[in-house]
Amino acid sequence: MSAVAKANRLTPYIFLAPAGIVLIFALLYPIGYMVYASFLDWSPSQRIGQADFVGMRNYANLLTDAAFLESFWVTIKFAAVVVTLEMIIGVGLALLLDRNIKGMSLLRTIFILPMMIAPIVVGLMWRYMYHPTVGIFNRTLKNIGFEEGIPWLSDSTWSFVAVVIADVWQWTPFIFILALAAMQSLPRSALEAAEIDGASEWQKIVLIKIPLMMPVLIVTLLLRLIDAFKVLEVILVLTNGGPGLSTEIVALRIFRTAQEFQELGEAAAMSNLLLLVLMTLTIGMFAYTKIQETRALRMSKVAALEEDE
């Protein structure tokens, strides 16, 4: 092989080398550091080299830790509820606004504003609105005749509802944007054929639009599900996980374990378990995307063969 050919083969790797070095130090090294720390009995008063090696003890403790198991269950419940509501509302809004109406571009802009607000600000804003005496919700209830307001942040059931409402308000626009983009990219020929066949608007939605949008909706759902497992700031500001552990998700339990309880080894073990769950969801998303791409390629080849015949 000539020197020029060798240089051509090495050129892509030379250009990728800086990005690879950054990836190793900015991503892989911290993850490796966290995995190593999860095997230690480590407190902030020690350097990591001074911590005692305890093997799998931190992981074994988590499996019998009632508080961690409760926070894990709260996380699953929270993610399932908010993602379901956000998918229903977001896709519904996309279906509603997918039409040429005067001022529709302004409405679309307004709908995505909540997603642009910092989570800390969202938490503070909703905390003030949930205030038992001066909050807008309880004041409105009293103005229409209710003597007692709702204990939004002091009752375990209502506090969970409160954080769900705040999350749905902030992140439904994410679903809306992706669903609307998918809807506007649908082949018009299929919709026109359905109109010629006399299909109603509801039939077009159920039988044509939703099935054709499904690949995008599945990926959107998985992306939002992954993000819902990592919510921290809004819940931290709103309830700090209370009352009790009713709104304490895993991310908040990790934060409290490291900051309040000073148990960095257990916090690292919790982070690794959460990372494992998120990696499973991510691999599922990529696998589904790959299956859909393979299926689409196969269908296009079949269609091409039929046209040749």
Measured distance CA(68)–CA(66) in Å, rounded: 6
Angle (CA) 201 205 210, round 5°: 170
- pLDDT class for 266, splitting at 50, 70, 90? very high
How would you write 244-298 as a 3-class SS string? CCCCCCHHHHHHHHHHCCCCHHHHHHHHHHHHHHHHHHHHHHHHHHHHHHHHHHH
Measured distance CA(282)–CA(277) in Å, rounded: 9
pLDDT digits (tens, 9 = 90+) for 200-224: 878 888 888 888 888 888 889 988 9
Place of tokens 């209502």: 158
Residue 207 confidence (pLDDT): 82
Kindly calculate the radius of gyration of the chain based on its CA atoms and give it in whole angstroms: 25
Alpha helices by DSSP H, listed for 132-155, are: 136-143
| Over residues 268-276, mean pLDDT | 92
DSSP per residue over 50-96, as a string? GSEE-TTHHHHHHHT-HHHHHHHHHHHHHHHHHHHHHHHHHHHHHHH
* CATH match of 67-300 with 1.10.3720.10: yes
Task: Give the H/E segment covering residue 41.
Answer: strand 40-41
pTM attached to this predicted model = 0.86
In the predicted structure, residue 276 carries a pLDDT above the cut 60: yes
Nearest to 193 by CA among 169, 212, 165: 212
Supply 164's token pair.
Answer: 């769900």
